[in-house]
Chains A and B, each alone.
Chain A
Amino acid sequence: MKHNLYIVIVGCGRLGSYLASRLSHTGHSVVVIDINEATFNNLSSDFSGFRVEGDATQIAVLKEARLKRADVCFATTHEDNINLMVAQVARKVFNVPHVLARVFDPRREQVFARLGIETICPTSVAAEMFLLTVASGRAARVDA
């Protein structure tokens, strides 16, 4: 694997800005896209990547971010449908090899798994963690 990856992150909220700052810090070339310029304030002060202000559902904006060159694309906006659309466009139009979309609604995950779009559902992940606590037996009171 090459050391310096070209990574495009769509959505610069809490998750997007955190990922962008961390990845930029480790030496990757990062581009963040957000429709709202104010969200770029979430980036850490040593973020050395590019910022693109615009609507990622417009192909012109994705072209501006040079998605065609990207090794990785993360779709982390707060809207499931934007993430699902951006992920598909990145994968199928721009042929980005690694694409990951955040999807809050677990019901939407299955269909997009069928379309070959990899998704992360924070709701399911958190639920699994909670359930694991119960299943591991560590939840029982020891003083009883």
Chain B
Amino acid sequence: MFTPRSIQSSFSLSEKIFSIDYILFFSIFLIGVISCFAQYSSSGGELDYYSKSHIVRFFIFFLLFIVISFIQVRFWYQSSYVIYFLFFILLLGVKYFGLVSSGSQRWINLYIINLQPSELMKIGVILFLSKYYHRVSASDVNRLKFLLLPIGTLLFPFFLVVTQPDLGTSILILAGGIVVTWLAGVRLKFFTYLGILLVSLLPIVISFLKPYQKARILTFLNPDRDPLGAGYQIIQSKIAIGSGGLFGKGFLNGSQSYLDFLPEKHTDFIFTLFSEEFGFIGSIIILFLYFLITYRIVSVGHATRSIFGKLYCYSFATAFFIYVSVNMCMVLGLLPIVGAPLPIMSYGGSSMLSIMFGLGVVMSCKIYKDTPVN
């Protein structure tokens, strides 16, 4: 019996493969491969613990991404709340059983893997709110009653992460959530109120900030304040990028990184390393790939019929773009150093897991673009 594709809810494997967004697929793969080389270079041109585990992780999570893509989008819609609560419980778990590392409590030991639930929460919040606003009718969106739940789902994880303390991730969680609510049609005035609320909460937030975080913000305002201390990272990062010039110093030839002038070169400053070795041309290629990924996610959202799919894809695309641009602005000295990884490129399992999971759901939206979610 023939069923029109529009209402079909399960496809054969070949149909699934056929309807994948190949530009998105290969852009992700390409970034992933580039990231493996970048990590290899970051390890001083050898396959050490960092570069090896990054490569292994990328291929595992890329498989996961394919698997998630092939699962019906309806499943992701239905389990959105569950996923959010699962992540929330993990986040609470960090608060009580978390591992302390370099002054902050961000990780939880799950026996197989040390997980950073705050990274997962970035996606959890978007999933939750997409489903929520899928269900709220257009007329109710701006009613205060319907605003309380989104505010709650945002602020609880936000405060949990801020007090870890992890300013960067908490801001990114908040940003993702705000994007969903904005797209869902919540009026500007509520965001203004939220802004006022946050500003009035600022003194409290500042009291939670560790001295090093305060120093970072002051340093961002004036990097030469303490060139060997807090300003060191920004200055060295700018030197690395700038000295790369048009064509870069060549693969494995980034002197700033292999002589250890570059801090956190595996994680937050991986773009700096790449930029030093491949110059302006290389940086533009990376920038273009990220732009392409964002653009394809948006077009998946455009093609998806369901409000959930649209909200999720648009929000995820925007969040993804924010992650990328916050990281780049940070290493380029346009934003304070807050600790935000570059999606896919940066070393870090949880960040990679969360991004690949999010991308998987996007791809699922693409494959099941015409299938109603409820």
A and B bind: no
